[in-house]
């Protein structure tokens, strides 16, 4: 059974190495994968790369603005140049931009859509070309339960972007299935990260949130580790076009 989850000899390109991305990158490395870590914040991808190397795997770090299509293609070229291939693409980059719909500016709208949806498409397109050529690969796009249910009154652009990621993943899954490339998405629930600490530090808000989660706790980045390895590995070889919700039961109500 263990061999189904073994990623030895595979290369994973992880875009976004903050809380969730870091945990999943380390999980993939723990399963045997070499990692190309990408982040827009200086030093963060290198920190993850060092942790990966500490686990005995090869790693390269890149700091790039993924909203630039040319940058996206350059990071894919760098990954292939370093490792010779890309077996797994994990899109997990995030920002924290919220505004009520009546007050959102064009700049805020485009910032959220570009970062959470458009950049995901460019990453899928660039890595997908390599995978289609190789006739194998697994793409994992981090969406959100906010792409399925409304979770607040200031996230209309975020909800739209994440719903787009879910449907984009399904569309790419059907388009690239003949080439052996699988595309799935993960929809996390409320996760404890740097981007949510301001919200979770409010006792009243936390109490209300916990009341909506059947498992009775907020998710941790480590709760996505097994999910990432599963979707990247042969254990999910017959799964594509699926959105795997990891939310402690929030959307089950």
Whether the CB-CB separation of 136 and 87 falls below 8 Å is answered with: yes
pLDDT at 2: 84
What's the pLDDT band for 168 if we cut at 50, 70, 90? very high
Residue 199 burial class via C-beta count within 10 angstroms: exposed 0-12, middle 13-18, buried 19 and up:
middle
The domain segmentation of the chain, as residue ranges, is 2-243
pLDDT at 152: 76
Whether the CB-CB separation of 119 and 70 falls below 8 Å is answered with: no
Instruction: Provide mean pLDDT across the span 185-210.
Output: 87
From the CB of residue 191, how many other CB atoms can be counted at a distance below 10 Å?
22
Instruction: Using the predicted structure, report yes or no on whether residue 118 has a pLDDT greater than 90.
Output: yes
Query: pTM of the full predicted structure?
Result: 0.96
Residue 135 burial class via C-beta count within 10 angstroms: exposed 0-12, middle 13-18, buried 19 and up:
exposed
93 DSSP assignment: -
Q: Which residue in this structure is represented by tokens 């984009």?
A: 168
- Looking at CATH, the fold of the domain delimited by 2-243 is given as Rossmann fold (3.40.50)
Catalytic residues: 158
How far apart (Å, rounded) are the C-alpha atoms in residues 47 and 16? Answer: 12
Instruction: Using the predicted structure, report yes or no on whether residue 21 has a pLDDT greater than 90.
Output: yes
Q: Which of 39, 141, 133, 40 is nearest to 89 (CA)?
A: 141
């Amino acid at each position: 059974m263990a061999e189904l989850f073994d990623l030895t000899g595979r290369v994973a390109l992880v875009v976004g190495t903050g809380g969730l991305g870091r945990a999943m990158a380390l999980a993939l490395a723990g399963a045997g994968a070499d990692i190309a870590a990408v982040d827009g914040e200086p030093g963060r991808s290198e920190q993850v790369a060092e942790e990966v190397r500490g686990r005995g795997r090869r790693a390269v770090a890149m700091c790039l603005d993924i909203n630039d299509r040319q940058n996206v293609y350059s990071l894919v070229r760098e990954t292939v140049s370093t490792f010779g291939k890309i077996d797994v693409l994990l899109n997990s980059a995030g920002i924290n931009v919220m505004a009520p719909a009546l007050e959102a500016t064009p700049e805020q709208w485009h910032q959220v859509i570009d970062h959470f949806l458009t950049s995901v498409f460019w990453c899928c397109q660039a890595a997908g070309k390599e995978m289609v050529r190789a006739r194998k690969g697994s793409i994992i796009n981090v969406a959100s339960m906010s792409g399925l249910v409304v979770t607040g009154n200031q996230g209309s652009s975020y909800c739209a972007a994440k719903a787009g990621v879910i449907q984009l993943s399904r569309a790419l899954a059907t388009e690239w299935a003949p080439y052996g490339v699988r595309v799935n998405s993960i929809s996390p629930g409320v996760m404890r990260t740097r981007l949510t600490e301001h919200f979770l530090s409010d006792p009243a808000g936390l109490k209300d949130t916990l009341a909506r989660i059947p498992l009775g706790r907020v998710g941790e980045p480590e709760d996505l580790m097994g999910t990432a390895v599963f979707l990247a590995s042969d254990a999910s070889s017959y799964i594509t076009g699926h959105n795997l919700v990891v939310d402690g039961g929030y959307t089950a109500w």
